[in-house]
Amino acid sequence: MTEIDVAIVVGSARRESINRRLAYALAKLAEGKLATRFVQLDDLPMFNQDDENPLSTNVQRFKHEIERSEAVLFVTPEHNRSIPALLKNAIDWGARPHGRSSWVGMPVAITGTSPGSLGTAIAQQHLRQILGDLGALVMGGEAYITYRPGLIDEAHTISHESMRCFLQAYVDRFVSLATRLSNKGSWAAVA
């Protein structure tokens, strides 16, 4: 099986981000199936339509990294019952300039973690709504992860067996979706 090229977008710039830890753990679960790489967001200027022509070098780099991917995995914290400003800024740049959105037709999966009992449920719903409106092909199903100390070890292994099984199934569904919708999928060659 040929690996699918997947961009991982983490909605946090924190050095010790629990969402970054989760993203690394998910990438580890996908080894041999997905070729993953992390996309930098914290160097993007604040979105301003006046700055679309020409796009800054960092925005061009971001858009290129998304567009060369066959799918995108979003792993986001929840800030004030929504997505972080860092992530919204990146999504806005990806959608611009008008008519050149990086999101149209892109298969995406969304998850995230927080210490709260709802995980990042509300942020994920907002992100699902935003990306769907922008034309991304958002994977169904939910993965709201309540983060507890010891959930992910230093080697990025999920230490709780039931959570590891749940997330492995989630990653496998994403692999299946990305494969079907990429140019490596069996139906894509016929279409």
Other CB atoms within 10 Å distance of the CB of residue 3: 16
Confidence of residue 184 (pLDDT cuts 50, 70, 90): low
Closest Cα partner for 146 from 164, 120, 180? 120
For domain 4-190, give the CATH number. Answer: 3.40.50.360
Confidence of residue 1 (pLDDT cuts 50, 70, 90): low
Residue 45's Cα: distance from chain center in Å? 20
How far, in Å, CA of 133 to CA of 127, rounded?
A: 10
pLDDT at res. 2? 79
Ordered by start, the domain boundaries in the chain are 4-190
The pLDDT tens digits of the residues spanning 99-116 come to 999 999 999 999 999 999
Closest Cα partner for 177 from 27, 77, 34, 68? 34
Average pLDDT over residues 162-168: 97
